[in-house]
Amino acid sequence: MECEFPSVNSNKQEIQEIFNSVKTIAVLGLSPDETKPSHRVAKYLQEQGFKIIPVYPKEDEILGEKVYRSLLEIPVAVDMVDIFRKPNALDAVADACIERGDVKVFWAQKDIVNNKAATKARNAGMRVVQNMCSMVEHSHL
């Protein structure tokens, strides 16, 4: 697998501003398996008062929330997309965020970098975070 260094990324001050403004987070790839990082991170964010919206190809409910099959199916406004997908999936995620028109933050989790998708998201007006864990960053604030 080819590794990329994030050339598009938010700084610590921007990350603090993100968490101060975000209320609703769609978690792409939120696993129902409690041992998976996506589940632990989403549970933490939910416990901190964020509204979590699971996006996963299976299940009807995760963490007490209705599961959607895609970002475009979610019927309410989404402030942030927290992505637990392979880097090559991020181009389509960026396109879906742009199509929605309401996503303010494009967040690719630890070890996930796709500068082309990140640039596309930033050019569409989103804040971008790559290769960082939202749980770790939030807990440091």
Is 7 a residue whose pLDDT tops 80?
no
Whole-angstrom distance, CA of residue 8 vs CA of residue 118: 6
Q: Model confidence at 3, in pLDDT bands (50, 70, 90)? A: low
Is 83 a residue whose pLDDT tops 90?
yes
Is 26 a residue whose pLDDT tops 60?
yes
Residues of the chain above pLDDT 70, percent: 97
Tens digits of residue pLDDT in 34-45: 999 999 999 999
Is the Cβ–Cβ distance between 42 and 134 less than 8 Å?
no
- Determine the Cα angle at 106 with ends 10 and 36, to 5°: 105
Cα-based distances in Å from 32 to 28, 56, 77, 100, 114: 12, 9, 23, 25, 25
Tens digits of residue pLDDT in 101-128: 999 999 999 999 999 999 999 999 999 9
Domains of the chain from N-terminus onward:
12-134 (3.40.50.720)
pTM of the full structure = 0.94
Is 33 a residue whose pLDDT tops 70?
yes
